Amino acid sequence: MKVKRLPFEVSLNRKFILISSAILFLLATLPLTLNVNPAGGVGVTAHSGREYTLADFPRPFIPVNGSNTNAFIIIPSSNPHGPCGAAHTMDTMGGVLVAYTLGIEGAENGAPVNLHTAMDSYSYISVYDYDNAKVTITDTESNLIVIGGPGVNQVAYYYNELKDNNGNPVLPVIYMRDDSGGYLYVQSTGNRYHIETDGNDRVIADYGVIQIYRDGTRYVLLVYGLGGEGTRAAAEVLSNFNSWNLNGIAAIIKYFDSDGNGFLDTISIVETVPAPEVTVEVYYDSACTTVVSSIDWGVIEAGGSANTTVYVKNLGNTPVTLTLSTQNWSPPEAAQIYRGQLGL
């Protein structure tokens, strides 16, 4: 039997050998023992990896290379729906812009987009418990594009309130309120963005946000503004993504009056939240000086085994989880033997 390649990818199944995701932290080094019984050679490679960012849009919301992608565009209802109020007409227009763009992009990729536009999202995407004042997401698999902010969209409200194990908001940009009203708060920089008015109380600048968040195995894209004009501007930027060089995990959009005539007329991106860096390398020694590019297991007779210990180091700026995957088994039946050995 020959085993051609055993690549590392950026997450490790917790069942794999002795490594637990709980002990893989920033710049930690871990001993990793690979036990491969079939005869042949196995190559091990490490590579930099990252999750989807705004630079990847319209992925993962449209199918690529024959993949199957299920996505919902969640447009808030024009009626109040606990704990949210009624949505602005601009939110609906924003959803139409984004849906049109995804339809065109999907057609150009040669595959139909399994795209649904949902206005009454609380009926099958999320539900609200009035007794406990709690939103629950019922669809945990579909990719979601959420139009409208936490004040009008139940799904946006859920993610705005969602916390990690340390009690911190999971989104890079969150909607908050103070004595002057609602504002966008960028967690990494502490910047705050309020609607701006002139001496006649006319709005001279509205702000919106486009941000992407991985929720388990699916992605959620939130697109909204402080006001209806901010939502429309954010949706317009997303629908013309090729012209805006979107990147990172969040972008703050400013829609403002550039000539002082009392009408908002100019859109700009005023802040981008960069994606966390994820880079791992594999070494032969615990001091992490000799990089592993491949492992030659030699010829292993039936019933025999070979062991090699390598060390994985996280060079990025965020904790990561690793998974192990295999490919190019010859004969194909060898893959089943391998998975059985690891209990996968």
**Domain locations in the chain?**
2-50+278-342, 54-273
pLDDT tens for 304-329 read 777 888 888 877 666 666 666 566 67
Mean pLDDT, all residues of the chain: 77
CA atoms of 271 and 276, how far apart (whole Å): 16
The CA distances from residue 22 to 1, 14, 212, 253, 279, in Å, are 35, 9, 25, 37, 18
By the 8 A CB rule, do 278 and 10 touch? Answer: yes
CB 203 within 8 A of CB 264: yes
141-145, 210-214, 288-292: lowest mean pLDDT where? 288-292
Residue 66 pLDDT more than 80? no
Q: Which of 8, 1, 2 is nearest to 278 (CA)?
A: 8
pLDDT above 60 (res 80): yes
pLDDT of res. 328: 65
Which of the given ranges, 3-12, 33-42, 89-98, 323-332, has the highest pLDDT on average? 89-98
Q: At 14, is the secondary structure helix, strand, or coil?
A: coil
So what's the pLDDT on residue 344?
A: 56
Report the run of H or E that residue 243 belongs to, with start and end: none
The pLDDT of residue 64 is 65
User: If pLDDT is split at 50, 70 and 90, which confidence band does 56 have?
Assistant: very high
Quote the CA–CA distance of 200 and 229 in Å, as a whole number.
Answer: 19
Three-class SS of residue 135?
strand
Other C-beta atoms lying within 10 Å of the C-beta of residue 323: 13
Q: What is the pLDDT of residue 50?
A: 52
Buried b (16+ CB within 10 A) or exposed e, 118-145: bbebbeebbebeeeeeebebebeebbbb
Separation of alpha carbons 195 and 215, rounded Å: 29
**Scanning the structure block, which residue is given the tokens 């007794």?**
131
Scanning the structure block, which residue is given the tokens 């893959």?
335
pLDDT in tens, 265-280: 999 999 999 988 766 7
Give me the amino acid identity at 330.
S
As a whole number of angstroms, the distance between CA 133 and CA 256 comes to 36
Q: What's the rounded mean pLDDT across residues 139-163?
A: 93
DSSP string, 250-289: EEEEEEE-SSSSSS--EEEEEEEEPPPP--EEEESSTTS-
Provide the pLDDT for residue 323. 60
Question: Tell me: the pLDDT tens digits for 219-236?
Answer: 999 999 999 999 999 999
CA dist 127 and 81 (Å) reads 10
The closest of 177, 182, 120 to 154, measured between CA atoms, is 120
Q: Is the pLDDT of residue 245 over 90?
A: yes
C-alpha span between 172 and 273 (Å, rounded): 7
Query: Which residues face 118 on adjacent strands?
Result: 74
Closest CA to 238 of 33, 35, 97: 97
What digits encode the pLDDT tens for the residues 188-218?
999 999 999 998 899 999 999 999 999 988 8
> For the ranges 36-50, 68-82, 301-315, which has the lowest average pLDDT?
36-50
Q: Greater confidence, 292 or 116?
A: 292
Q: Specify whether the CB–CB gap between 45 and 281 falls below 8 A.
A: no
Question: Which residues make Cβ contacts (< 8 Å) with residue 48, sequence separation at least 6?
Answer: 278, 279, 280
83-97 mean pLDDT: 81
Q: What is the mean pLDDT of the segment spanning 81-104?
A: 81
